[in-house]
């Protein structure tokens, strides 16, 4: 939400000790998705003595503008209501109250705003006594109970449609009081409000005439949410373009609507039957319950993600291919050349991972499935999710996190508990804690790399494609374009905005063992080398010392850096391979013993059981897919995730690419190759990524 506030502007801030006081705005801090997080204000307006001592930081719910609001503020806006007497309000207000605008001024309500106070009865108030709170409604709703959230959300989204009971003074009506229906007598009606007398407690109370505390409204089901018929919630698509359509446009083609509600600070999706959704949780449950053909992956609540805007290439185009993959991927892969009429060097397009020699055997026998019937929604009970969590619990990457969680668990249990029970209890405590941290797929997106790997649900699971733990297995889903960059050879860009955590593609090609990798790498005539390490195994082990790689015979000392992004990856590789092998042989070295925690070791032993310790490499030189075209950047917008699907053979993870941030249409997709400078002697490779954080050297 754009912040309409100037530096030095008078605001009201809330301190628990002083209540609401005047202050002056200094600066605002926003989250990644542009939500207001913290406002710094100073308590005095003394310009000539600027000290930071009277600067304080406030969350947006504790800051309001000092000026009165106008006459046209939207329903759903958060406001601060100032104390006022009978002339301005329907009742006496003795202290500032926070609330939500529920009606705009009109002739019906005598030109006053209706306010739903946060923890008080509703009232009418003139605009002169109302201040704008800088808190978005979504922020407030994230802190209230789900019943209130749903009521307010529904109210704001369907306004001005609403139901009010018709009453007259002296009417009797049943209202809810502490969970009981009690008799009340109407003593006053003021527009949408009424005052009732409750004989049972001998008190008067103001009520909104649409409140669910009124028995007539509580008993009759809402007319604004027609119940959805199973199997009939989605309209048939208006165009038959699900194959070449941007995935975030598919719901819109099925009759869904997506609105950006700046006033609420959220995106609203409306289903064809009129249901409104402002969060992925409810939307996912709805899609699941109505057996919708749509997937939660096709929706985004990211305010900055434009769904309909497509990137347009320049008008001068020398080469323009509709599908460079020739139908081998799920969606077409476009290729464009706006610089000259050249094409990438030919290779075989494949989405498979093909072992080069028959001695490379991927173990397909070691997977297990889960027995979930809820679409794996309860991740703490799903065996596949548990496997992901177990990896996190045992991995050295998460030692700090797991350590502090275990401490929390220790504080919450009795020392005398049965030891065995305790271990099981702790496991579930950790699962529960991890499930709340958005680790792993969240509504079809991966917001954070899981170093210990993702184990997707597979053919042995009871769940189907609507499960929460399937993503990479569906393959390419985004509309990407290979294009000729001016400096870096070929690159890949997205044609539409992509929300953070979107799966792009996985690395396909040939799987080589280290001997073949060495041999291929040394073939001088090869030009570009498209290697990617299957280094999941080594990443499981804590690295005691930074690896120092010795140079091998340098055959290529030329300064031809035209294709430096893929050049000589191999030399680096063979070094890493030999280094890794040394580490492998050194399994019981002192470093290992001191840094490897017991659980870590157990995991490693378990993972390594039955497998050779060979190092494998994916080579996309002769065979590959779009992944071979991603370039390097020192400030990447793409990250790599190791994923296991139909095999849990730790030597052969799928190397999958996900967006690390919200990526705008037309932006190049780049990942960090993560080479270490000076790891190969006599080798200097300059980076031309052009980012502000550029490390300038790749090698």
Where along the sequence are the contacts to Zn ion (CB under 5 A)? 370, 372, 376, 382, 384, 457, 461, 463, 467, 469, 634, 687, 689, 694
Q: Shortest Cβ distance from residue 463 to Zn ion (Å)? A: 3
Residues 6+ apart with CB under 8 A from 374: none
User: Tokens 């005052």, residue?
Assistant: 195
Q: Which of 663, 269, 309, 296 is nearest to 500 (CA)?
A: 663
Peptide bond into 160 cis (omega under 30): yes
Least Cβ distance, residue 390 to Zn ion (angstroms): 14
| CB 242, min distance to Zn ion, A | 23
Q: Which residues of 582-599 are buried (b: 16+ CB within 10 A; e: fewer)?
A: ebbeeeeeeebeeebeee
For strand 509-513 and strand 353-355, is the pairing parallel, antiparallel, or unpaired? parallel
Q: Are 128 and 114 in contact (CB under 8 A)?
A: no
Residue ranges of the alpha helices (H) in 511-597?
A: 514-522, 536-540, 569-585, 590-595
- Which one, 56 or 288, has the nearer CB to Zn ion? 288
SS3 content of the chain, % helix, strand, coil (to 5): 20, 25, 55
Q: Which CB, 254 or 488, lies closer to Zn ion?
A: 488
Nearest CB to Zn ion, comparing residues 225 and 487: 487
Q: Which is nearer to Zn ion, 102 or 634 (CB)?
A: 634
Question: At closest approach, how far in Å is the CB of 120 from Zn ion?
Answer: 45
Work out how close the CB of 696 gets to Zn ion at its nearest, in angstroms, rounded to a whole number. 6
- Give the residue with the Cβ less far from Zn ion, 222 or 465: 465
Of the pair 81, 382, the CB lying nearest Zn ion is at 382
> If residue 137 lies in a helix (H) or strand (E), which one and from where to where?
helix 137-141
The CB-of-370 to Zn ion minimum distance in angstroms stands at 3
CB of 303 to Zn ion, least distance (A): 30
Closest separation in Å from C-beta 566 to Zn ion: 15
Closer residue to Zn ion in complex, CB, 372/663: 372
Nearest residue (CB) to Zn ion, 141 versus 372: 372
In angstroms, the CA 260 to CA 255 distance is 17
Give CA–CA dist 353/349, Å, rounded.
11
We find the least distance from the C-beta atom of residue 250 to Zn ion, in angstroms, to be 22
Q: Tokens in use for 204?
A: 């008067």
- How is 260-282 classified by DSSP, letter by letter? EETTTTEEEEE-TTS-EESSHHH
Nearest distance, CB of residue 697 and Zn ion, angstroms: 8
22: enclosing H helix or E strand? strand 19-30
The span from the CA of 155 to the CA of 158, in Å, is 6
Closest CA to 184 of 195, 425, 590, 193: 195
**At closest approach, how far in Å is the CB of 487 from Zn ion?**
12
**Residues in CB range of 24: below 8 A, 6 or more apart:** 8, 9, 10, 11, 41, 42, 43, 44, 45
Q: Is 659 helix (H, G, I), strand (E, B) or coil?
A: strand
Q: CA nearest 673: which of 538, 535, 550? A: 535
Q: Whose Cβ is closer to Zn ion: residue 342's or residue 691's? A: 691
In whole angstroms, the minimum distance from the beta carbon of 366 to Zn ion comes to: 15
Q: Give the side-chain half-sphere CA count within 13 A for 145.
A: 3
Contact 570, 621 (CB under 8 A): no
97 vs 130: CA distance, rounded Å:
10
Q: Are the beta carbons of 604 and 453 closer than 8 angstroms? A: no
Walk across the sheet containing 353-355 and list its strands.
353-355, 509-513, 616-619, 531-534
Closest CB to Zn ion among residues 384, 405: 384
Q: Are 366 and 424 in contact (CB under 8 A)?
A: no
The pair phi, psi for residue 64, each rounded to 5°, is -130, 155
Nearer to Zn ion by C-beta: 162 or 427? Answer: 427
Residue 40, strand partner residues? 27, 57
Comparison of 130 and 687: residue with beta carbon closer to Zn ion: 687
Tell how strand 654-659 and strand 638-644 pair up.
antiparallel
Minimal distance, residue 244 CB to Zn ion, in Å: 28
Nearer to Zn ion, 20 or 671 (CB): 671
Q: How far is the CB of 506 from Zn ion (least distance, A)?
A: 19
Q: Which is nearer to Zn ion, 157 or 382 (CB)?
A: 382
Q: Judged by CB, which is closer to Zn ion: 421, or 674?
A: 674
Look at strands 623-624 and 348-349 and give their pairing: parallel
Q: How far is the CB of 441 from Zn ion (least distance, A)?
A: 10
On whether the CB atoms of residues 575 and 582 are closer than 8 A, the answer is no
């Amino acid at each position: 939400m754009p912040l309409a506030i100037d530096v030095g502007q008078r605001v009201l801030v809330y301190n628990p000790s002083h209540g609401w006081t005047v202050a002056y705005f200094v600066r605002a801090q926003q989250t990644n998705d542009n939500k207001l997080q913290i406002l710094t204000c100073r308590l005095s307006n003394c310009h000539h003595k600027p000290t930071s001592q009277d600067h304080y930081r406030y969350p947006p719910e504790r800051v309001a503008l000092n000026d009165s609001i106008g006459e046209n503020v939207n329903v759903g806006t958060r406001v601060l209501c100032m104390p006022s007497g009978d002339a301005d309000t329907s009742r006496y207000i003795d202290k500032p109250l926070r609330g939500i605008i529920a009606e705009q001024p009109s002739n019906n309500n005598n030109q006053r705003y209706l306010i739903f106070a946060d923890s008080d009865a509703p009232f009418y108030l003139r605009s002169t006594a109302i201040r704008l709170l800088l808190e978005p409604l979504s922020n407030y709703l994230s802190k209230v109970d789900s019943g209130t959230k749903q009521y307010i959300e529904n109210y704001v989204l369907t306004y001005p449609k609403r139901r009010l009971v018709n009453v007259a003074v002296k009417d009797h009506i049943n209202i809810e009081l502490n969970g009981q229906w009690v008799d009340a007598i109407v003593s006053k009606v003021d527009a949408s409000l009424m005052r009732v007398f409750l004989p049972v407690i001998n008190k008067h109370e103001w009520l909104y005439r649409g409140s669910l505390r009124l028995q007539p409204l509580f008993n009759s089901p809402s007319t604004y949410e027609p119940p959805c018929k199973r199997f009939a919630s989605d309209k048939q698509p208006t165009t038959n373009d699900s194959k070449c359509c941007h995935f975030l446009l598919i719901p819109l083609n099925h009759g869904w609507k997506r609105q950006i509600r700046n006033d609420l600070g959220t995106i609203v999706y409306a289903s064809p039957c009129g249901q409104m959704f402002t969060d992925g949780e409810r939307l996912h449950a709805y899609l699941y319950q109505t057996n919708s053909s749509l997937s939660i992956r096709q929706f985004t609540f990211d305010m900055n993600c434009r769904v309909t805007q497509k990137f347009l290439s320049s008008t001068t185009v020398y080469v323009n291919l509709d599908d460079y993959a020739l139908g081998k991927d799920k969606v077409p892969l476009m290729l464009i050349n706006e610089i000259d009429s050249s094409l990438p060097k030919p290779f075989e397009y494949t989405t498979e991972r093909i072992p080069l020699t028959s001695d490379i055997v991927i173990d397909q026998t070691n997977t297990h499935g889960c027995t979930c019937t809820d679409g794996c929604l309860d991740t703490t009970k799903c065996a596949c999710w548990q496997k992901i969590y177990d990896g996190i619990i045992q991995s050295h990457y998460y030692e700090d996190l797991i350590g502090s969680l275990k401490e929390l668990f220790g504080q919450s249990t009795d020392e005398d508990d049965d030891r065995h029970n305790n271990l099981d209890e702790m496991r579930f405590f950790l699962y529960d804690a991890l499930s709340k941290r958005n680790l792993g797929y969240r509504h079809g997106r991966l917001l954070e790399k899981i170093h210990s790997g993702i184990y997707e649900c597979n053919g042995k699971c009871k769940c189907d494609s609507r499960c929460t733990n399937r993503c990479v297995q569906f393959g390419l889903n985004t509309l990407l374009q290979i294009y000729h960059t001016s400096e870096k050879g070929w690159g890949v860009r997205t044609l539409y905005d992509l929300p953070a955590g979107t799966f792009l593609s996985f690395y396909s090609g040939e799987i080589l063992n280290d001997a073949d990798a060495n041999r291929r790498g040394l073939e001088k005539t090869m030009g570009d080398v498209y290697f990617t390490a299957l280094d999941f195994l080594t990443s499981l082990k804590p690295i005691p010392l930074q690896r120092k790689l010795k140079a091998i015979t340098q055959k290529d000392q030329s300064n031809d850096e035209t294709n430096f992004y893929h050049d000589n990856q191999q030399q680096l590789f063979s070094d890493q391979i030999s280094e890794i092998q040394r580490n492998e042989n050194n399994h019981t070295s002192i470093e290992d013993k001191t840094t490897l925690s017991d659980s870590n070791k157990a995991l490693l032993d378990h993972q390594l059981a039955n497998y050779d310790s060979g190092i494998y490499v994916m080579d996309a030189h002769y065979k590959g897919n779009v992944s071979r075209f991603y370039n390097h950047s020192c400030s990447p917008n793409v990250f790599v995730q190791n994923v296991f699907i139909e095999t849990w053979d730790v030597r052969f993870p799928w190397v999958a690419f996900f967006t690390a941030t919200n990526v705008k249409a037309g932006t190049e997709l780049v990942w960090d190759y993560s080479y270490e400078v000076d790891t190969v002697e006599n080798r200097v490779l300059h980076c031309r990524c052009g980012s502000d954080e550029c490390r300038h050297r790749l090698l």
